[in-house]
């Protein structure tokens, strides 16, 4: 069993930031679209990140070594066995020498699958294409506007030779010899539950009962091949850190005309000095001199999107307090809007700069200024 912590190269007490940094570093290293990339390693890294970055899934993984779905089988989500142990004490009563054929049992069949392998059920097995997950780094300036990013990536696409059906349609099909046209294969199992008949989909004809006479040489019967897909990711007004954008039908093409998976794009907002982000707030530092304060100057502070905000230094101005420009930060996630506004704030932290070296004249003038200020304060 794969150790997710070992895959990401982090200790078991790693923080969320450590997990995120490790994933970003390894994802860049092993991405299939990069030279020297490794698709299998990339998928393993992504799988580990999806579990460890989710607090509930991480707790389940740390306790059980798996993440269980509500049906009890290994999955990525739900509470499953984490809520408490299963009571097996009376489960097997009355099952001795009983021949049970499991058809479509819903979630319950997943429990038996873990014992007997494969999936039980008489309905056709889903061959839906897998979802694709990508990371998109967005510069801070771009995140403040509307995002329309063109993305090209490698995935499984429909085979152009056979049109995605997996075989030569002109050659046609015939009754499947493996399942005799039923589309199902039965397997007998004996266990402490009793005797069970597991019904599985025929792998040769994909549960259709009809096997192709001539398999497509390009896709080898899958109906899909490795290719490139490109999409344009759009949002209404802007993006926020950690946002996941879903593009329906832009994932892996399904086997033999089955539904296509979806594309999920996780956004990371990239910042560079002098800017940094905290939640949806953008923070910057700006120097102010003693002369600026005494002469009540107006400071001009650049913003990430090449604009400028102005700060008027009035009498009694407190440089220790940050100057906040409301609703000028990043867009907020919809679920965190509340009554705080649709955007975060732009925060300017002022840094008072004093001269490192002062000549005799400057010192004399400073002394005179100090004396004059004390006199004026005494008159008030």
- The CATH number that applies at residue 36 is 1.10.287.110
SS3 content of the chain, % helix, strand, coil (to 5): 25, 30, 45
Would residue 183 count as lying in a domain? Answer: no
Class of residue 14 by CB neighbours under 10 A (exposed 0-12, middle 13-18, buried 19+): middle
SS3 212: strand
Would residue 189 count as lying in a domain? Answer: no
What is the spatial distance between Cα 144 and Cα 331, in angstroms, rounded to a whole number? 7
Give the C-alpha distances (Å, rounded to integers) separating 334 from 137, 239, 241, 268, 280: 20, 11, 12, 17, 12
Q: What is the predicted pLDDT for the residue at 191?
A: 60
| Residue 57 shares a structural domain with residue 5 | yes
Helix (H) or strand (E) holding 151: strand 148-158
- φ, ψ (nearest 5 deg) of residue 289: -100, 165
Q: Tell me which of 82, 104, 136 is where a domain ends.
A: 82
Task: For residue 134, give its domain range.
Answer: 128-172+215-270
Would residue 138 count as lying in a domain? Answer: yes
| Residue 282 shares a structural domain with residue 347 | yes
Q: Tell me which of 250, 270, 290 is where a domain ends.
A: 270
Q: Tell me how many domains the chain contains.
A: 3
What is the spatial distance between Cα 53 and Cα 19, in angstroms, rounded to a whole number? 7
Give the C-alpha distances (Å, rounded to integers) separating 136 from 88, 155, 290: 47, 16, 43
Would residue 350 count as lying in a domain? Answer: yes
What is the spatial distance between Cα 310 and Cα 18, in angstroms, rounded to a whole number? 37
Q: Are 159 and 221 in contact (CB under 8 A)?
A: no
Would residue 107 count as lying in a domain? Answer: no
| Residue 264 shares a structural domain with residue 289 | no
| Residue 257 shares a structural domain with residue 363 | no
Q: How many C-beta neighbours within 10 Å does residue 342 have?
A: 12
Would residue 179 count as lying in a domain? Answer: no
Partners of 133 in beta bridges: 264
| Residue 232 shares a structural domain with residue 322 | no
Kindly report whether the global pTM for this prediction surpasses the value 0.75: no
Of the candidates 202, 164, 158, 167, the one whose C-alpha atom is nearest the C-alpha of residue 183 is 202
Helix (H) or strand (E) holding 184: strand 184-191
- φ, ψ (nearest 5 deg) of residue 221: 90, -10
Give every CB contact of residue 158 below 8 A, 6+ residues apart in sequence: 164, 223, 224, 253
Sign, Cα dihedral of 325, 331, 336, 342: positive
| Residue 74 shares a structural domain with residue 32 | yes
Would residue 98 count as lying in a domain? Answer: no
Give the C-alpha distances (Å, rounded to integers) separating 241 from 19, 57, 235, 327: 16, 21, 13, 16
Q: Are 45 and 27 in contact (CB under 8 A)?
A: yes
| Residue 255 shares a structural domain with residue 138 | yes
| Residue 29 shares a structural domain with residue 77 | yes
According to DSSP, residue 110 is labeled H
| Residue 17 shares a structural domain with residue 78 | yes
| Residue 225 shares a structural domain with residue 161 | yes
The pair of structure tokens assigned to 216 is 């497509």
Would residue 190 count as lying in a domain? Answer: no
Q: What is the predicted pLDDT for the residue at 62?
A: 77
**Per-residue pLDDT tens listing for the chain (380 residues):** 578 888 899 988 889 888 998 988 888 888 877 777 788 888 888 888 888 888 888 887 777 666 554 333 444 333 333 334 434 333 344 333 344 444 444 344 444 444 444 444 444 445 789 999 998 888 888 888 877 888 899 999 999 999 998 888 888 889 988 898 888 888 776 665 566 777 887 877 877 888 888 999 899 888 999 999 999 887 766 788 888 889 999 999 998 888 999 999 998 888 999 999 988 899 999 999 888 888 889 999 999 988 999 999 998 899 999 999 998 998 887 655 454 568 889 999 999 987 777 777 777 777 776 676 667 666 55
**Domain at 165, CATH number:** 2.60.260.20
| Residue 72 shares a structural domain with residue 13 | yes
Of the candidates 255, 220, 226, 233, the one whose C-alpha atom is nearest the C-alpha of residue 154 is 226
Q: Tell me which of 53, 82, 111 is where a domain ends.
A: 82
What is the spatial distance between Cα 197 and Cα 237, in angstroms, rounded to a whole number? 56
| Residue 141 shares a structural domain with residue 219 | yes
Q: What is the predicted pLDDT for the residue at 95?
A: 38
């Amino acid at each position: 069993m794969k150790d997710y912590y070992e895959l990401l190269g982090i200790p078991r007490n790693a923080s969320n930031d450590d997990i995120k940094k490790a994933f970003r570093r390894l994802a860049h290293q092993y991405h299939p679209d990069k030279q020297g990339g490794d698709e299998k390693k990339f998928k393993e890294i992504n799988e580990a990140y999806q579990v460890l970055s989710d607090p509930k899934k991480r707790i389940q993984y740390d306790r059980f070594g798996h993440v269980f779905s509500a049906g009890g089988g290994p999955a990525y989500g739900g509470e499953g066995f984490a809520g408490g142990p299963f009571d097996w004490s009376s489960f097997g009563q009355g099952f001795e020498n009983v021949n049970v054929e499991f058809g479509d049992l819903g979630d319950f069949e997943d429990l038996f699958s873990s014992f007997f392998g494969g999936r039980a059920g008489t309905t056709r097995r889903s061959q839906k294409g897998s979802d694709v997950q990508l990371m998109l780094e967005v510069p801070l300036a771009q995140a403040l506007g509307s995002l329309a990013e063109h993305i090209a990536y490698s995935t499984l696409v429909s085979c152009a030779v056979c049109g995605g059906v997996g075989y030569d349609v002109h050659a046609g099909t015939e009754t499947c010899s493996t399942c005799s046209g039923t589309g199902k294969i039965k397997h007998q199992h004996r266990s402490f539950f009793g005797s069970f008949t597991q019904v599985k989909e025929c792998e040769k004809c994909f549960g259709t009962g009809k096997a192709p006479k001539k398999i497509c040489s390009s896709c080898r019967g899958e109906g899909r091949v490795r290719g490139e897909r490109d999409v344009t990711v759009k949002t209404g007004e802007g993006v926020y850190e950690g946002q996941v954008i879903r593009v329906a039908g832009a994932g892996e093409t399904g086997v033999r005309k089955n539904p296509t998976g979806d594309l999920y794009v996780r956004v990371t907002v990239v910042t560079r000095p002098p800017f940094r982000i905290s939640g949806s707030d953008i923070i910057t530092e700006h120097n102010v001199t003693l002369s600026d304060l005494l002469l009540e100057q107006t400071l001009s502070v650049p913003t990430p999107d090449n604009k400028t905000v102005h700060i008027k230094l009035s009498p009694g101005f407190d440089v220790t307090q940050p100057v906040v420009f409301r609703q000028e930060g990043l867009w907020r996630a919809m679920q965190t809007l509340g009554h705080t506004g649709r955007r975060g704030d732009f925060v300017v932290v002022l840094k008072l700069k004093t001269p490192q070296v002062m000549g005799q004249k400057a010192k004399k003038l400073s002394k005179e200024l100090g004396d004059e200020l004390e006199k004026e304060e005494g008159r008030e």
